A = this chain, B = another copy of it.
Amino acid sequence: MTATIIDGKAVARAIHEEVRREAEELRARGCTPGLAVVLVGSDPASVSYVTAKQRACEEDRIESFGHSLPGDSTQDRVLGLLAELRADDRVDGILVQLPLPRHLDEKVILDAVPVQKDVDGFHAENLGKLGLRDAEARFAPCTPAGVIELLKRTDVAIDGAHTVVLGRSKIVGLPAALLLLRENATVTICHSRTRDIAEHLRRADIIVAAIGKPDFVTGDMVREGAVVIDVGVNRVDDSSKKSGFRLVGDCHFDSVAAKARAITPVPGGVGPMTIAMLMKNTVRAARARLA
């Protein structure tokens, strides 16, 4: 079997298009969706992520409020800014770019983002709501929400499928498992302490790899006809590149693609979905203003 390559860029584009239409509609009703993006310090990767998010806002007709604080800002300064944003009616979503400088307490700062504006879905209450199937889950974290969208929009049946999630981080693995459970998948969560990861993977109908190890999943660990979603983004040295590195996923693409029915590439798979889902969460937050 040669795998279908799931085009994350195309799916993300379709979502951005839907978001833009929804934002226009909200604007016409006097409710301009707004996203505040808080950056502390000037880490180059963070600056580039923040820039990409602000550009996406512009394209999707969401107003963006950029707040750059110096890298030596005190915790109180950051909390003060968050208090202002909490009270600001134009701000539907608040995003604090991670990682924060080390002297700041990430947990305290993320807890200061109110649940209603937590478009990153990192608040404990939003995570808990993912698990409570009778509760309305307000915001799912963007990357795992993107994983589900990719599966749905490529017609992968999740209901009843045996899904193995590799990794249990609060940003990807755990919420991905909760979202898959909501969709009636049977879910196995494997992680660094799992004894025989390969054995678990070989039984999966769907694999979601988010373990942060380059080329970890190889073709021999994948059942013929499985669907593989690769969330990993790892830098490996490559002297043939000008930058000196290239990006690879958690899956060894060629050998896995030879077995799988469908697979996401890295880059161009899950990556573009994260910002698309952030935009989607933001218009959702704005719509709640009208309710």
Q: Which of A79-87, A120-128, A142-150, A281-289 contacts B (4 or more CB under 8 A)?
A: A120-128
Are B170's CB and A186's CB within 8 A? Answer: no
Are B189's CB and A187's CB within 8 A? Answer: yes
Copies in the complex: 2
Are B188's CB and A186's CB within 8 A? Answer: yes
Q: Report chain B residues within 8 Å CB of A177.
A: 189
Check A193 for interface membership: any CB of B closer than 8 A.
yes
Q: Report chain B residues within 8 Å CB of A178.
A: 131
Q: Report chain B residues within 8 Å CB of A213.
A: none
Number of residues of chain A lying within 8 A (CB) of chain B: 34
Q: Which of A96-104, A132-140, A216-224 contacts B (4 or more CB under 8 A)?
A: A132-140
Which of B125, B133, B134, B184 is within 8 Å of A125, CB to CB? Answer: B125
Chain B: CB-nearest residue to A132 = B170
A104-132 contacts to B (CB < 8 Å): 107, 123-132
CB A277 to nearest CB in B, in angstroms, measures 19
Are B186's CB and A190's CB within 8 A? Answer: yes
Check A9 for interface membership: any CB of B closer than 8 A.
no
Check A20 for interface membership: any CB of B closer than 8 A.
no
Q: Report chain B residues within 8 Å CB of A18.
A: none
A125-184 contacts to B (CB < 8 Å): 125-135, 159-160, 162, 168, 170, 174, 177-178, 181, 184
A207-242 contacts to B (CB < 8 Å): none
Q: Report chain B residues within 8 Å CB of A129.
A: 124, 128
Chain B: CB-nearest residue to A130 = B128
Check A195 for interface membership: any CB of B closer than 8 A.
yes
CB A106 to nearest CB in B, in angstroms, measures 9
Q: How far is the CA of A174 from the CA of B160 in the complex (A)?
A: 17
Check A194 for interface membership: any CB of B closer than 8 A.
yes
Are B134's CB and A170's CB within 8 A? Answer: yes
Which of B133, B134, B135, B174 is within 8 Å of A131, CB to CB? Answer: B174
Binding site for B on A (CB under 8 A): 107, 123-135, 159-160, 162, 168, 170, 174, 177-178, 181, 184, 186-191, 193-195, 200
